[in-house]
Amino acid sequence: MAFVVGGAFYARFVITPALSGLSDTERGKVAGRIAAALRPLMLAAVVVLLGSGTFNLLRKSNLPAGYHMWFGIKSLFALHVVAVSVLLGREGVDAEKRTRWLTGIAASGVVVMLISAVLRAMQQ
């Protein structure tokens, strides 16, 4: 999750402003190249996230009250990150929409990491 969130923050707050000086066609070309290069990494990160989350849930026992509720909320935010990450890999997405999506991924990813910390604290 740290890779996905870090990448979203970097793309949103470094790459997006850097591309703002380019024309719309140039910005679209560069954004398409970045999306194409990042697509395999994001898909690999998504597979690892889903696999590790499922594994971690299945291997735990004697969970405290409320754990499953928070895990479900975390899963919904994680699914939002996954879905938008896949959409970001598409070509032809306009710059404004890409910026909104990156902001959403960054915010949802931070929420996922905060809930993960809460879940870890609940187990101790």
Q: What is the mean pLDDT of residues 17-42?
A: 84
d(CA 116, CA 101): 22
For residue 2, what pLDDT is reported? 81
36/124: higher pLDDT: 36
Per residue in 51-99, pLDDT (tens digit) is 888 888 888 888 888 898 999 999 999 999 889 988 887 777 787 888 8
pTM over 0.75: yes
For residue 39, what pLDDT is reported? 81
